[in-house]
Amino acid sequence: MHHLLAEASAVLFDLDGVLTPTARVHECAWARMFTEVFAELGVTPPFTDADYFEHLDGKPRYQAVAALLSDRGVELPWGSPQDAPDQHTVCGIGNRKNALFLAVLTEEGVDPYPGSVALLDELQRAGVPVAVVSSSRNALAVLTAAGLLSRFAVIVDGTYAIEHGLAGKPAPDTYLAAAKLLGAAPERAVVVEDAISGVAAGRAGSVGLVVGVDRGAGRAALTAAGADLVVADLGELVGAE
């Protein structure tokens, strides 16, 4: 494998888009949910794929709901995170999306990227510690569905961040917490990310190497955000010197 990975104190992986193609599951859940909600509220025009990329992709759930409603000129109360999924509040609608995400995940499952699994295998053989660092509060469900849960002793997800008062990406806090939990020196750790905010988080944490995985953000944008190396698939790092 790439010599900088072989010598790393730890490799810290983002989840959605790096280990698993979970964006498709999110996209499917958002589309189902907003199609239902727009019909219930009589909102036009109907939901489209463009809405997903323009207003929803990569944003925290409630902020994403608020952004799309605002685009359609719809004003609803914010509500609270305890709202039921059938309530017409921003939080209720966000909770409905999450329930649908978990339903789609259970129905259809999710296969991890083969190149990512090959790299995990190689790191395991080399004895390099690994962690998952994800903004998602569904990380455990996704890792379980993908059959990857047993590979990670350390998982710093959205729930962990909230419980420990850690700032989310692009702040480096979650990556630094994962390195600490593994007993790894941050300056020798590697961060693997597909999102601009995640690459920026690795860079801000002064880790030894930030690897960008280009799943659509673009090589130039990932490099500009601070990626030292950009690949189209993690399989490129397997067996490579």
CB 8 within 8 A of CB 208: yes
Task: Enumerate residues 6+ apart whose C-beta is below 8 A from 112.
Answer: 19, 20, 146, 147, 148
CB 219 within 8 A of CB 33: no
**Which residues are annotated as catalytic?**
14, 16
Nearest Cα to 200, choosing from 217, 179, 182?
217
Round to whole Å and give the CA distance between 74 and 217.
Answer: 30
Residue the block writes with tokens 């659509």: 216
